[in-house]
Amino acid sequence: MPEARRKVGFAALLMLGATLCFAALDATSKHLAQTYPIPMMVWGRYTFHCLIMLIFLAPSMRLQLVATARPLAQITRALMLVGTTGFAMAGFSMMPLAESTAFLFVTPLVVVILSHWLLKESITATHWIAVVAGFCGALLIARPGGALNLPGIFWMSLAAACYAGYQVQTRQMSPTENTLTMLFYTALVGTVTMTLAAPLYWGGPMPGWIDAALIASLGIYGGTGHLMLTRAFRYANASFLSPFLYAQLIWAMLLGWLFYQDLPDLLSVAGMGVIVGSSLSIAVSERRQHQA
């Protein structure tokens, strides 16, 4: 029992570290977007993520790292995450970190609808209530006179849509595909697509050493965060770890306050609470269904 408790505690720490990495990635991209094109940062995020995986995993996994029975599905899923990254970075560049992050967390609610439509999963009354409440929470954040603006909401809505598609495809593929292989394909596809598209966007100022390091850090944050996330699920159940994902909201508020002097107002905080509560109620409901 003590060993099991240590593993669960370690998993919780890994999740907190992963969400800090994701929040740091968002905060850094917000700073860099004031000077550099968004696609350049997307390139940096996936290229250095890919390098991390090649350095630490390729020597031991070798061809297993790319072995898959569904290459087209892997590529499609990876492109969904690339879209999520680009659209989210555009949204973060225009709006405060905390509110933007909260808006992106409507994704689990969209996943419920898409899963019913695409995967033919049943939706209970509890699910529908949670979906409606969650979208009401999003409206509280995106209300007229709030901290969000229409262009930013547009980009974050696209990011949430892509992220929902990514999660639905993950549900479809995870029973038969290796988790690290799926993670590597997201890094590889992002690197290849953004490198091929470089002539379309590579024309801004060349970064100095400090900004180059910050661009590289995007991949380090993303790669390290996802590796920590993957390792956490080895030590504890998803039903236990899911609530820890919302620690990213706390990190986003803290980093937004420290570096951008942004703090959400009470209505926005209320909207965040509604979104988190709605998503958690769906997670609890699904856990009970699996236990039954």
Per-residue pLDDT band for 126 (boundaries 50, 70, 90) equals confident
* Largest interatomic CA distance in the chain: 58
* Separation of CA 194 from chain center: 18
pLDDT over 70 at 257, yes or no: yes
pLDDT at 97: 93
Per-residue pLDDT band for 287 (boundaries 50, 70, 90) equals low
Sign of CA dihedral 243, 80, 189, 64: positive
pLDDT over 80 at 49, yes or no: yes
pLDDT at 75: 97
Averaged over 79-103, what is the pLDDT? Answer: 93
Selected residue with higher pLDDT from 290 and 106: 106
pLDDT at 290: 53
pLDDT over 90 at 71, yes or no: yes
Per-residue pLDDT band for 220 (boundaries 50, 70, 90) equals very high
pTM: 0.86
pLDDT at 171: 80
Own/partner pairs for 50-58, CB < 8 Å, 24+ apart?
A: 50/184, 50/187, 50/188, 50/190, 50/191, 50/219, 50/223, 51/219, 52/219, 52/220, 52/223, 52/224, 52/227, 53/180, 53/183, 53/184, 53/187, 53/223, 56/227, 57/180, 57/184
Averaged over 45-60, what is the pLDDT? Answer: 93
User: What's the pLDDT tens digit per position in 169-183?
Assistant: 888 888 889 989 999
Least confident of 84-88, 130-134, 164-168, 262-266: 130-134
d(CA 120, CA 223): 33
